[in-house]
């Protein structure tokens, strides 16, 4: 074994040991003193470049890294997005510290450390929303769709005239909208001959009720006439009401027994409409046209006029009741025919005999015209209800027939051969080949009208047929039924005039409201 002994002095640089070329031989270095610039445990062997190991009291040869552990350096962990490294292995011996092996790459884990979800767009009933979350390590973001909430229908139904629907409790949207499913009609008020009735039905889904008017039945007059002394009439076969009441249309008087000075005579006349016979006594002939002093009675003057003496005093002016009848005197002469008294007109019978000069009441025909005289005898003007029927009498008192405008409304008064002449018409009425509808008040209707559950369009234009029922395609608005430039078309069935709905008309379709949609 080569030996080197250093006893004193200063050693600079490396100490070269000779090992005679034999690898693995130990060399002995004895150091007994001196001063070293470097750690004497870290000198290099020139042939092996291996460090000399020292353990407290002795020195060894080349380090084979087996007697010591390993130190790993440069290691770092893999993350969700970045790879890691296991670190290089070095000899743990401080005097050696040689690199034993290099480390290896650790693949990225791919497992993000996501935080809580955060909403970036709120979901609604009809639109999806979104949310995202971020990795706390790498900041990577993940986005996710939040499904639309969907509608929550209300428990109660909403409704209008034609349909029902529910309302979304979240957004208020209409849901489950559909046309009403109505049940059978139930009569709530029976129609009579003079009064309209009503009926209603309910939707089996939402309970909405629909009501409509039932037109009055109208009277059905009997074939035979009824009569009394004042006039004649027919009877409604349904309710017994008096219909078509009118004064008798008497012909000429016919004497059935001539009067003498000893006995009264008799005469009669009959009504040309109902055959009622009026008979009356003709007073005995008086030998002299005079009244006993202080007495009362009729006196005929030399000019053929009649006067009346009341308790010896002639009646000169005004009204006088004689035998239950009223007479009017002017300059002591009994008046006949039309007479104006205090601004009102009266009719005093012109027929000869006991009724001559008496004040007329009720219907009176004068020539081709009819007049109505109230119970007071005063001639009526304007509207008058007689026997359950309404009539209109002009300013002259003449009974009107045909169309009549009053207070901005149109009315129709029956003409001859149209039921009761002069009576105000109600309901459907055909006039001049056109159909019109007159309400219970008699006022003519126009525009859209719903009658007995069916819609009709009555001409709302003053073009000569105002109020007439329209047929076929009509371009009108939905509210007043007046012509419009909008693309608003409706179809009214020929003859009946009923509006088409939910149906095809040729190649066109109309919806529940009757509006053409395609």
What confidence score (pLDDT) does residue 57 get? 41
Question: Phi and psi of 283, rounded to 5°?
Answer: -60, 150
Nearest to 345 by CA among 378, 307, 305: 378
Q: How far apart are CA 62 and CA 490, in angstroms?
A: 114
Are the C-beta atoms of 162 and 512 separated by less than 8 Å?
yes
What confidence score (pLDDT) does residue 304 get? 77
Nearest to 271 by CA among 224, 234, 231, 244: 231
Domain ranges of the chain: 3-62, 70-106, 158-214
DSSP string, 341-363: ETTEEEEE--SSSTTTTPBP-EE
Nearest to 363 by CA among 350, 372, 355: 372
Cβ-Cβ contacts under 8 Å for 94 (sequence gap 6 or more): none
Cβ-Cβ contacts under 8 Å for 124 (sequence gap 6 or more): 148, 149, 170, 171
Place of tokens 């929550």: 152
What confidence score (pLDDT) does residue 13 get? 41
> Rounded to two decimals, what is the model's pTM?
0.47
Are the C-beta atoms of 320 and 329 separated by less than 8 Å?
yes
- Beta pairing class for 174-179 and 389-393: unpaired
Name the CA dihedral angle for 98, 99, 100, 106, rounded to a multiple of 10 degrees. 150
The token duo for 388 is 């359950």
Cβ-Cβ contacts under 8 Å for 317 (sequence gap 6 or more): 329, 330, 331, 332
Q: How does DSSP classify residue 5?
A: E
What confidence score (pLDDT) does residue 156 get? 92
Per-residue pLDDT of the chain (518 residues; tens, 9 = 90+): 445 555 555 444 444 444 444 444 455 555 544 444 444 444 444 333 444 444 434 444 456 777 668 888 889 898 888 888 989 988 887 777 888 889 999 998 888 888 999 999 999 999 999 999 999 888 889 999 999 989 999 999 999 988 999 999 988 899 999 999 999 999 999 998 888 999 999 999 999 999 999 998 888 999 999 999 889 999 999 888 888 889 999 999 898 987 765 678 899 999 999 999 999 988 765 544 567 677 888 888 777 788 999 888 889 999 999 988 999 999 889 999 999 999 999 999 987 444 789 999 999 999 899 999 999 999 999 999 999 999 999 999 999 999 999 999 999 999 988 989 999 999 999 999 999 999 999 999 999 999 999 999 999 999 889 999 999 999 999 999 999 999 899 999 999 999 999 999 999 999 999 999 97
Neighbours of 376 (CB within 10 A): 10
Are the C-beta atoms of 295 and 309 separated by less than 8 Å?
yes
Q: How far is CA 463 from CA 449, 482, 483, in A?
A: 19, 12, 12
Name the CA dihedral angle for 407, 385, 198, 513, rounded to a multiple of 10 degrees. -30
Q: State in Å, rounded, how far the first CA of the chain is from the last one.
A: 120
Place of tokens 């026997």: 387
What confidence score (pLDDT) does residue 261 get? 55
Q: How far apart are CA 249 and CA 273, in angstroms?
A: 7
The token duo for 507 is 């190649």
Cβ-Cβ contacts under 8 Å for 304 (sequence gap 6 or more): none
Q: How far apart are CA 292 and CA 299, in angstroms?
A: 11
């Amino acid at each position: 074994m080569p030996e080197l002994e250093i006893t004193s002095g200063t050693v600079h640089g490396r100490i070269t040991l000779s090992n005679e070329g034999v690898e693995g031989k130990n060399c002995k270095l004895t150091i007994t003193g001196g001063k070293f610039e470097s750690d004497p445990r870290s000198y290099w062997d020139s042939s092996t470049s291996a460090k000399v190991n020292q353990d407290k009291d002795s020195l060894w040869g080349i380090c084979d890294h087996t007697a010591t552990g390993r130190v790993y350096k440069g290691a770092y962990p893999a993350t969700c997005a970045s790879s890691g490294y296991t670190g290089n292995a070095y000899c743990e011996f401080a005097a050696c510290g040689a690199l034993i092996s290099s480390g290896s790459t650790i693949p990225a884990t791919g497992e993000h450390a996501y935080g809580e979800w955060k909403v970036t767009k709120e979901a609604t009933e009809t639109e999806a929303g979104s949310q995202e979350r971020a990795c706390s390590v790498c900041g990577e973001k993940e986005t996710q769709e939040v499904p639309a909430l969907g509608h929550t229908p209300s428990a109660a139904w909403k409704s209008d005239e034609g349909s029902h629907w529910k309302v979304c409790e979240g957004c208020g949207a209409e849901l489950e909208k559909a046309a009403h499913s109505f049940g059978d009609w139930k009569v709530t008020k029976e129609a009579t001959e003079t009064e309209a009735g009503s009926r209603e039905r309910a939707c089996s889904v939402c309970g909405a009720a629909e009501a409509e008017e039932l037109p009055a039945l109208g009277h059905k007059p009997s074939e035979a006439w009824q009569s009394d002394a004042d006039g004649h009439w027919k009877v409604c076969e349904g309710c017994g009401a008096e219909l078509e009441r009118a004064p008798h249309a008497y012909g000429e008087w016919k004497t059935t027994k001539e009067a003498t000075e000893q006995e009264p005579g008799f005469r009669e006349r009959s009504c040309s409409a109902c055959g009622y016979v009026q008979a009356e006594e003709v007073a005995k002939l008086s030998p002299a046209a005079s009244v006993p002093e202080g007495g009362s009675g009729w006196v005929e003057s030399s000019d053929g006029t009649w006067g009346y003496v009341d308790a010896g005093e002639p009646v000169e002016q005004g009204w006088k009741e004689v035998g239950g009848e009223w007479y009017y005197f002017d300059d002591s002469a009994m008046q006949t025919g039309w007479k104006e008294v205090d601004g009102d007109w009266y009719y005093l019978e012109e027929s000869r005999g006991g009724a001559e000069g008496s004040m007329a009441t009720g219907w009176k025909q004068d020539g081709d015209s009819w007049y109505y005289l109230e119970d007071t005898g005063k001639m009526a003007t304007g509207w008058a209800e007689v026997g359950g029927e309404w009539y209109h009498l002009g300013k002259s008192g003449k009974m009107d027939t045909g169309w009549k405008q009053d207070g901005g409304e149109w009315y129709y008064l029956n003409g001859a051969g149209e039921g009761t002449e002069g009576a105000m018409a109600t309901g459907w009425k055909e006039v001049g080949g056109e159909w019109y509808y007159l309400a219970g008040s008699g006022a003519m209707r126009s525009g859209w009208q719903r009658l007995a559950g069916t819609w009709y369009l009555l001409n709302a234009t003053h073009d000569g047929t105002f109020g007439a029922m329209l047929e076929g395609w009509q371009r009108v608005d939905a509210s007043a039924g007046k012509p419009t430039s909008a693309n608003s078309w409706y179809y009214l069935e020929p003859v009946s005039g009923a509006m088409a709905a939910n149906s095809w008309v040729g190649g066109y379709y109309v919806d529940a409201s009757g509006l053409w949609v395609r």
